[in-house]
Structure 1
């Protein structure tokens, strides 16, 4: 099962601003699908159904190369 990243959007949003939606991305930045998920739980469920291992952000500004920024739900 390949890892996919549940990315909150908009990316790099300032502190205190709302998350609009979530997307699924591979490590190299390509989207897994073209769906914008309204909740993190919906994105996690879609990743699992597709056979992927989802990772969710631990920090506001993420870097896919830094494993400390991600955790398994």
Structure 2
């Protein structure tokens, strides 16, 4: 399975998080729309057969493994 990254938007440390985007390693956005929560983004990624990774820092770098953690099964329940 392919990993995808759930990233907060806007990128950067200033201001509140407006939503989340699903991106691949090369930066391709899989969701055309901004998802309101991590839970919705995780569910959307799993629905399409991807393994979602959640950012552990506000400004994540896809090349740094410590910036990401696998989405737990507890996020799936709605």
User: Are 1:2 and 2:2 counterparts?
Assistant: yes
Deviation >3 Å, runs of 4+: none
Unmatched 5+ residue regions in structure 1?
none
Q: Identify the residue that residue 50 of structure 1 maps to in structure 2.
A: 48
TM-score, normalization: structure 1? 0.92
Q: CA RMSD of the aligned region, Å?
A: 0.8
**Alpha-carbon displacement from aligned partner over 1:29-58 (angstroms, at most 9, x marks no partner):** 010121210011000000000000000001
Aligned residues: 71
Aligned residue for 1:51, secondary structure, equals: coil
- Aligned to 1:62, which of 60, 63, 75? 60
Aligned pair partner of 1:29 in 21, 27, 32: 27
- Any stretches of 5+ residues in structure 2 without a counterpart? 72-78
